[in-house]
Amino acid sequence: MQDLNWSKLPFGYVKTYYNVRSVYKDGKWGEIEVTDNECVNIHMAATVLHYGQACFEGMKAYRGKDGKIRLFRWKENAKRMRHSCEGIYMAQVDDDLFYKMVSKVVEINKDFVPPYGSGATLYIRPFLFGSGPKVGVQPADEYTFMIFVTPVGPYFKEGFKPIKIAVVRDSDRAAPLGTGTFKVGGNYAASLRGVIKAHDAGYGAPMYLDCREKKYIDEIGAANFFAIKNNTYITPESSSILPSITNKSLEELAEFLGYKVERRPVEFTELPGFEEVGACGTAAIISPIGEINDLDTGKIYKYCPDGKPGPVSVKLYETLVGMQFGDVEDPFGWVTVFDF
Ligand code: PLP
Ligand code: COI
């Protein structure tokens, strides 16, 4: 194994020892294969290559002070992957196979779970795609489910420091009755125009507004949006955003910590009234937002005047991350501790 500078890792790909795979054929999933092959050999007419039959999940394994490796709410990822598969007519994986493959791939790559205190984690990427051939537009008969892992650092280079966001109105990542609630590859292809536009303007990620009226806030790149006002955790209700497991956990945690919680359409015009705003997700964890630039009007909304995350974001971050690493008691039963 190569020497890794754990505390300097970016959010990117590092080769590990093995990945795991299973193929769905004739109506059932086959044996789990463990391989060090980083490539996939599929039919050139596979539906994933032409018609975008593909979905993925993003999870992390956390190493605690006790050296033990933990997972956070894996059943929610398994459930969301089935929701994605259902949404684009792919074969589904039950909890049992999902957990078997996740635990296997973490165990055989456990050297790559970063040490406690390094700030890094092992990112787990389950993905499933149509590997069988079709030329007409229809679902494949064969599917491949794979998981690779890679040690990662923060998604935004700022880490837990305020990030800058640009509002994008001239492209949408998903339509109101489209695939926004599914974690399918096509949404990320569609998001690239906004992502590149934001990056080119010097911003970390785009803010997407609702596509019908551009009146409500949808989400932030590959993360959900939240705001804090009057001791209330506010997050958008929308039919075109990904149901984030981190966001759902923060809603439950906020309530547990005594804050009010509102899941409702959030108007863009509410931005000046918010005390704190942030992006949340597995990769993004909680990324406080320090600046939102409306590229079309030139108006800039600023938060974190002292350059530091606000107190509610800090409290939520410390509690959530504390539970994930095993430092804070988990009263919800969200954390699974591996025994290897
Ligand atoms: N929104 C989008 C578009 C995402 O890709 C992600 C990442 O998974 C999220 C939100 C956050 O979801 P989660 O907290 O389940 O990782
Ligand atoms: C995650 O938060 O796990 C994501 O999926 C983000 C990713 C698209 C890089």
Domains and CATH numbers, the chain: 6-152 (3.30.470.10), 163-325 (3.20.10.10)
Position 284 scores a pLDDT of 92
Q: In the structure, what pLDDT confidence band is assigned to residue 303 with cuts at 50, 70 and 90?
A: very high
* Closest residue to atom 2 of ligand 1, CA basis: 222
Position 131 scores a pLDDT of 98
Residue 116 Cα to ligand 1 midpoint, Å, equals 24
Average pLDDT of span 146-168: 93
Q: What is the pLDDT of residues 229-281, one digit of tens each?
A: 999 999 999 999 999 999 999 999 999 999 999 999 999 999 999 999 999 99
Position 2 scores a pLDDT of 75
Beta bridge partners, 289, equal: 163
> Residue 149 — φ and ψ, nearest 5°?
-130, 155
At residue 126's C-alpha, the angle toward residues 46 and 76, to 5°, is 125
Minimal CA–CA distance to 170: which of 224, 206, 204?
Answer: 206
Q: Ligand 1 in contact with 285 (CB < 6 A)?
A: no
Query: Does residue 22 contact residue 142 with C-beta atoms inside 8 Å?
Result: no
Average pLDDT of span 55-80: 98
Position 198 scores a pLDDT of 97
Structure tokens that stand for 68 in this block: 């033990």
Average predicted confidence (pLDDT) for the chain = 97
Supply the Cα-derived Rg of the chain in whole angstroms: 20
Name the catalytic one among 25, 161, 183, 302: 183
Position 190 scores a pLDDT of 97
Angle of helix 311-325 relative to helix 245-256, nearest 10 degrees? Answer: 110
Complete DSSP assignment for 279-294? EEETTTEEEEEEEEEE
* Closest residue to atom 3 of ligand 2, CA basis: 58
Position 4 scores a pLDDT of 93
Q: In the structure, what pLDDT confidence band is assigned to residue 156 with cuts at 50, 70 and 90?
A: confident
Ligand 2 — pocket residues by CB below 6 A?
Answer: 58, 222, 281-283
> Residue 311 — φ and ψ, nearest 5°?
-65, -35
Helical H runs in the chain? 47-51, 74-87, 95-107, 185-200, 245-256, 311-325
Query: Does residue 117 contact residue 165 with C-beta atoms inside 8 Å?
Result: no
